[in-house]
Structure 1
């Protein structure tokens, strides 16, 4: 039986040539409002640093803005990169978000730094934040700090010291572990937590990660059964030709990243189409294109249904990576809006 999945959104807040951060963020908040109206399940912001084409550096700030601009959709992080932050700070930020939008906050946590080694050192210049080798302990700390009962710290004097992320919590964010390797799948299973594999980023190892998570899952009070969904890069347009053109700027940007070339703001569709041929980049683009969902609404919906059925999931989080044309407004994202609208309509039909 074919599954029609629920839809969610992952947003990196792309910044294109000639666009300011203000315009890029404004376009993404408008996209969150559209997703809310269109019935999407959740809207997550990623954490990346020092990338000219990505403005999603601070998920808690963006989540607060999106929560204030929407009504029913869940909003969250996809994810907070825990090695860059103290666990107490993360717990306090998301406890505050839960107070702002009760029952609508997701805390997705990853183990990678989300940037290059230089930026990683800058993020930790004031001293240790979260030791990556103690990642499981820090996850347990955040869970305890977010709970209404809080956590207890035993001081060297032997005295116990009570700590709470917020003084009077009634609800807590849903904590998800994110990853692109076996590590987080195994840890999420051990802790009885929801888990998401970063399929949009890599695609390699998806089947193994899901099998490890499901087969090793230990039921928890909050999650008696394993909870997971898939992520996918998606470009949807009225025609397959337009979808292919709108996918090109992001495909070329990913090729530059993997070839270790200098990063820059995303090209417009016009710039990408006019760019000289590059055989090294084109080989990578061809390989990536087959893993992305690029096409008209009916074809994209069929691919998503197949993907959900094949991997036994009831939800797919799409990263709408459609590029913009040079004559389109800089404070909006018509191509990404088109992708979300057409996809929701096709799956609902």
Structure 2
């Protein structure tokens, strides 16, 4: 087996861009990702009107699945704190019926919103572990064939994914790999017969290192502030020239460079954390540069595939 690549798209709003333009760009990126050979594309739920155009990922999942044929499409992830678990299960079971074998359901523990918006969305919610159990039960009752993923960056979320028998997506590339190894060892196989780890990595790639470094200014400025200005107002990705002074040193988890450099860095990360696939997050001010970054990474990995170690045998059968 070889390392697989996927895309994480929060559908960022660049400065001066309308939501309609950003969503059209998301459709174009999905088509480019399928053509480049990516395995899946996920849409993150964000309730930041000035920074993201994707508060309802299931709607975009449906649109993208309709225009593609091979690409797996899903949420990465649904903020379950904002939704009734049964409703989420029904929504994704419907998507699975429309596009069988191609739908992923990633669940995120965060809120994807500022405090005021989160309060309006949440109401009186049960604790997340209870909601996850309810969602898992609803998916089973409905017979949905979606792939279930729990997204997180802690030992607690990894353990929860193992108990459910779900796959696990982690963005903690500055921590230790031990929680992911523990996840594999404890995976119950209750929902998916075999643990799978996807590691989210922020990447900006260009033909030259100098070009990539310039493009990375808008990415780092956007993520260093998590899309919010000090007063709580959303901040769209700025142009590289307008990126905040000194922000190039503020986000150490970003892989930047030419195709060869990026391939080497991604290969090292995959080996360190035992990842089965990498879910790449790229944000640039220019949509064309963003698509090109994904294309260059896919070409670099296709030219020199990264082999994965054979999976350890799993004890017993699967429920």
Q: Deviations over 1:82-136 (max 9, x none)?
A: 0100011101110111112111000001122121221111113xx43x42x2x23
Q: Deviations over 1:256-290 (max 9, x none)?
A: 34996243222122433xx6x4xxxx2x64141x4
Instruction: Say whether 1:213 aligns with 2:167.
Output: no
Aligned Cα RMSD in Å? 2.0
Q: Name the counterpart of 1:339.
A: 293
Instruction: Say whether 1:198 aligns with 2:167.
Output: no
Deviation at 1:146, TM superposition (A): 2.1
- Alignment check: 8 A CA contact 2:77 2:105 kept: yes
Structure label with greater radius of gyration: 1
Deviation at 1:302, TM superposition (A): 1.5
Aligned residues: 301
Q: Name the counterpart of 1:59.
A: 57
Q: Name the counterpart of 1:109.
A: 107
Q: Name the counterpart of 1:242.
A: 211
- Alignment check: 8 A CA contact 1:5 1:304 kept: no
Q: Name the counterpart of 2:35.
A: 37
Instruction: Say whether 1:301 aligns with 2:263.
Output: yes
- Alignment check: 8 A CA contact 1:5 1:316 kept: yes
Residue segments in structure 1 that go unaligned for 5+ positions in a row:
151-163, 325-332
2:136 to 130, 138, 143: 143
- Alignment check: 8 A CA contact 1:11 1:43 kept: yes
Change in 2 beyond 3 A, CA 1:119/1:258: closer
Deviation at 1:204, TM superposition (A): 4.0
Q: Deviations over 1:280-320 (max 9, x none)?
A: xx2x64141x4211111111111111111222222111012
Q: TM-score by structure 2 length? A: 0.88
Measure, in 2, the Cα distance between the counterparts of 1:95 and 1:206: 35
2:283 to 321, 325, 333: 321
Measure, in 2, the Cα distance between the counterparts of 1:259 and 1:72: 35
Map 1:51-130 → 2, pairs under 5 A: 51-124=49-122, 127-128=123-124, 130=125
Change in 2 beyond 3 A, CA 1:206/1:10: farther
Q: Name the counterpart of 1:266.
A: 237
- SS at 1:264 equivalent: coil
- SS at 1:49 equivalent: coil
Measure, in 1, the Cα distance between the counterparts of 2:92 and 2:75: 10
Residue segments in structure 2 that go unaligned for 5+ positions in a row:
304-319
- SS at 1:19 equivalent: coil
Q: Deviations over 1:227-265 (max 9, x none)?
A: 111110011101111101111012112233499624322
Measure, in 2, the Cα distance between the counterparts of 1:260 and 1:27: 24
Instruction: Say whether 1:180 aligns with 2:153.
Output: yes
Q: Name the counterpart of 2:308.
A: none
Structure 1 segments of 4+ aligned residues over 6 angstroms from their partners:
none
- SS at 2:210 equivalent: helix
